[in-house]
A and B are shown apart, each in its own frame.
Chain A
Amino acid sequence: MVSSSSSRPLQLAGLFAKAAPAVMSVGLLLVAWELYANYSGIKPTILPAPSRVFEQAMLNREALIDNAIPTIRATLMGFACSLGAAFALSMLVDFFQPLRRALFPVFIVSQTLPLVAIAPLVVLWFGFGLTPKIMLVALVTFFPMLVALVQGYEATEVEIGQMLRAMGAGCWRVFVLARLPSALPYFFAGLRISITYAVVGAIFAEYAGAAKGLGIYMLNAKNNFRPDLVLAAVGVSAALTLILFGLTVLLQRLAMPWERIGRQPAGKGPGR
């Protein structure tokens, strides 16, 4: 890899500059919330101040971590399942175009199913274990991934395909050499979107019934009139989503070095 180590501090500074507005707006929101909760006379059992949420989160950190682990597990396993299925089906659809017309309506319908109604049913059918969570996470993330991949293959430059065929490449070679790499940017765009769906999907499944998990933790806290703990769990799930999102960004940078390096002009002058 030709990673330019000399520009690393500059990159970091740039990252901070980019993150600054977001950090500031979130900070302002927290300050406003804190002031409102403290001075409006609203009861902490209705709206706790962020400082109290944080305090309680620290006091209950063991329970929070304990409940976050099953959620993480369900998210990652469900996501892995949907990725595998989406990849296999995307290839099938790419090689046999008629299948696309037959299958896509089914997939689209699967996306319009209301999660609120489906989650309790899936729990009813498959119990309180890991299976229904994995299924729900897979259900909400599968279609965005499939569409991203199929669109990505289609984005292959026509000329590249023609050239490869003229070189003597068959369907499979064209797929591996051109269509798959062409789909990478689409794949990562889909990944970023569906990873956020995945966490929400897992929590929803737990909300509908689970032994452990952030979803059931939120439900119990709410039933015990502890909005501070509900919000603490929300904070944990938000952090989880952000971390997963960050990981996909990192993964994309590693997997597509040309996107980053390609933007920097070559060291020497153009042409000759």
Chain B
Amino acid sequence: MSRLELRHVRKAFGGLDVLADISLSVGAGEFVSILGPSGAGKSTLFQLLTGAEHGEGEMLFDDTPLDDHGRHFAFMPQRDALMPWRRILDNTTLGLEVQGVGRQAARARVAPLLAEFGLAGFERHFPAQLSGGMRQRAALLRTVVQERDMLLLDEPFGALDALTRAAMQRWLEQMWRHHRWTALLITHDVREAVFLSDRIYVLSARPARVLREITVPLPRPRDPTGATAQQAGALEAEILDILLNPQPSKGHDHD
């Protein structure tokens, strides 16, 4: 059953066409990725979903149109957006605080998750004291404790070094298996999309349209070293080929 459904969503900033035609859906408990080149308009799509911008086309959640007031999404912006002046614990409870949850209750909800997110013992630290990976986990914790219907993750690991990124991807895959969040992830990393997702929407360069929808048939837990590694590699190569040689018939245009 699909929870989020976008039909022919378009968006232009002034004369600049950013999203040409986006249709996609995300089912309950499904992990879906949007994969596309930088500047394609991926973050813009999240701005439409969170109500920061308005576009054309239909956006439905549980078959009802999205409006500014229905808060279905917990949104993690492209940079971690941790507040430097708040300690880690207070950063992670921010969303609950905005929802009107009292400080003690908010902390009580975050507390049992701290260990799982590798942040136990760092509650009283400031963000600047943490490594990049820990900061991303703190930002992710701040996002998931809001307990919204769906997670919107905008390139959560984009700023990390390759090794930390790989570690974080494995960690996130494991976390997702425990929690089964309904999630929409933005990335420009083919490997990341294949490793984490149930389905992938491959976007063209700006103005973005869906080039291909790909179901990832790999079993979970995903194992980057096991028997399915070859299958994953083949899928990655296929997706890379779609990104690098988009079909002219699909309406790819240069700008």
Return chain B residues, CB-CB under 8 Å to A256. Answer: 85
**A261 on interface, CB distance cutoff 8 Å:** yes
Shortest CB-to-CB span from B98 to chain A, Å, is 4
- Do B81 and A262 touch (CB < 8 A)? no
Shortest CB-to-CB span from B146 to chain A, Å, is 7
- Do A168 and B99 touch (CB < 8 A)? yes
- Do A166 and B127 touch (CB < 8 A)? no
Looking across the interface, which residue of chain A has its beta carbon closest to that of B77? Answer: A159
Within 8 A of B (CB), among A151-201: 157, 159-160, 162-169, 173, 177-178, 181, 184
**B229 on interface, CB distance cutoff 8 Å:** no
When each residue 248-272 of chain A gets 1 if its CB lies under 8 Å from chain B and 0 otherwise, what string results?
A: 0000000011100111111010111
- Do A166 and B84 touch (CB < 8 A)? no
Q: How far is the CA of A266 from the CA of B125 in the complex (A)?
A: 7
Within 8 A of B (CB), among A117-173: 157, 159-160, 162-169, 173
Name the prevailing secondary structure of the B interface residues: loop
Q: How far is the CA of A166 from the CA of B130 in the complex (A)?
A: 25
Task: Knowing A157-B79, A159-B81, A181-B83 are in contact, say whether A272-B98 is a contact too (CB < 8 A).
Answer: no
**B122 on interface, CB distance cutoff 8 Å:** yes
- Do A271 and B164 touch (CB < 8 A)? yes
Return chain B residues, CB-CB under 8 Å to A266. Answer: 122, 125, 129-131
On chain B, the number of residues with a Cβ less than 8 Å from chain A's Cβ atoms is 37
Q: How far is the CA of A264 from the CA of B130 in the complex (A)?
A: 10
Q: How far is the CA of A166 from the CA of B122 in the complex (A)?
A: 26
Q: How far is the CA of A184 from the CA of B73 in the complex (A)?
A: 31
- Do B131 and A271 touch (CB < 8 A)? yes
**A23 on interface, CB distance cutoff 8 Å:** no
Looking across the interface, which residue of chain B has its beta carbon closest to that of A178? Answer: B83
**B227 on interface, CB distance cutoff 8 Å:** no
**B71 on interface, CB distance cutoff 8 Å:** yes
**A2 on interface, CB distance cutoff 8 Å:** yes
Within 8 A of A (CB), among B106-130: 118, 121-122, 124-130
Looking across the interface, which residue of chain A has its beta carbon closest to that of B137? Answer: A272
A-contacting 9-mer, from B10-18, B45-53, B183-191 = B45-53
Return chain B residues, CB-CB under 8 Å to A165. Answer: 50-52
- Do A166 and B126 touch (CB < 8 A)? no
Shortest CB-to-CB span from B53 to chain A, Å, is 10
Q: How far is the CA of A25 from the CA of B124 in the complex (A)?
A: 42
Of the residues B73, B118, B128, contact of A258 by C-beta under 8 Å: B128
- Do B99 and A157 touch (CB < 8 A)? no
**B94 on interface, CB distance cutoff 8 Å:** yes
- Do A160 and B95 touch (CB < 8 A)? no
Looking across the interface, which residue of chain B has its beta carbon closest to that of A2? Answer: B124
Return chain B residues, CB-CB under 8 Å to A265. Answer: 129
Task: Knowing A157-B81, A258-B85 are in contact, say whether A168-B50 is a contact too (CB < 8 A).
Answer: no
- Do B126 and A258 touch (CB < 8 A)? yes
- Do B50 and A271 touch (CB < 8 A)? no
- Do A262 and B129 touch (CB < 8 A)? yes
Q: How far is the CA of A258 from the CA of B95 in the complex (A)?
A: 21
**B6 on interface, CB distance cutoff 8 Å:** no
8 smallest A-B Cβ distances: which pairs? A262-B128, A270-B131, A159-B77, A166-B50, A166-B75, A271-B133, A159-B81, A167-B98
Q: Knowing that A163-B77, A166-B50 touch, tell me 10 more A-B residue pairs with CB under 8 angstroms.
A: A162-B81, A165-B51, A166-B51, A169-B98, A181-B85, A261-B126, A270-B130, A270-B134, A271-B167, A272-B133
